Amino acid sequence: SSHKPNLELSYTMAFFNNMFNVPTQDPYRRQGTAYLHIKDARKSTERSENPTGAVVVPISLATTFQQTTPGLGTAQDDPNSFGLGYEYSRTGNPTRGAFERAIAAAEKAKHAICFASGSAATSAVIHLLQHGDHVLSVDDVYGGTQRYFRRIVSPNMGIGVDFADFSNPKSLPIQSSTKMLWLETPTNPTLRISDISAVSAIAKEKGCLLAVDNTFCSPYFQTPIEMGCDLVVHSITKYIGGHSDVVMGVVCTNRDDLYERLRFIQNGIGAVPSPFDCFLAHRGLKTLHVRMEAAAR
């Protein structure tokens, strides 16, 4: 027999779509699902194996993990350990790994590395540079970032920092020593907008890294990795966390070489978020699409 459409359901959906002004072709539809079901490329599964069947990532508070062989991490097959297993929680933690995978998926990036604050994430990115390098930053950058650049990076690390208007990327005062362009769009708090794709093209032409602070747009509305940038930085404290109860930062990238260096910096400097903070941030990410849609309206 032929399948008959459920007209009553169709009429009901049409009524609610009209009542709440839901667009019939919503470009952000199913984003929440994408944030929650993370596919592991190595095992072709959508989530970490958990013997309890828990649908919420557990909080793993252990500082140290038992090793069957000295120097060999436990649970190397857990995708949240990124193939390294677990030995010490600063180096790797199951709750943090789960959130890093989720935020990478949200940013449509290959990798994500979490830190104890947005400022710590910014510091980790600057640690990719060397003495004598130069950073060109957008002039309307977040006050905390500007303070860090002016009062810590420039005088103490031997890295030059200048600020410029990025509205015309072709006229940026890039020097021979410039190794990184730092862009924030929209800016905090004046919401100035820059063309990420245009700046990315200039960065590639000049051989510079492009780091984009995507905090104010969030990955719901903007994914700079897809526009050609090398590094995406977030203060998780703002929209992604969403509940004013966690301070955290993250750096996302598609480049394996940058990921390896940032992972080493994360472990070496040790500015890692606690497992409980990672749990809270992961919870916040689950409702990001709902909150951002409400904010846009």
Q: Does residue 72 sit in helix, strand or coil?
A: strand
Q: Does residue 8 sit in helix, strand or coil?
A: helix
Residues facing residue 209 across a β-bridge: 180
255-289: burial string, b at 16+ Cβ within 10 Å, e else = beebbebbbebbeeeebbbbbebbbbbbbbbeebb
List of residues 6+ apart from 231 with CB closer than 8 A: 125, 209, 210, 211, 212, 251, 252, 253, 258
Question: Nearest-5° angle of CA 168, CA 170, CA 171?
Answer: 75
Catalytic residues: 90, 142, 213, 238
Structure tokens at 284: 């916040």
List of residues 6+ apart from 202 with CB closer than 8 A: 169, 170, 172, 174, 181, 208
Residue 187 contacts residue 142 (beta carbons within 8 Å): yes
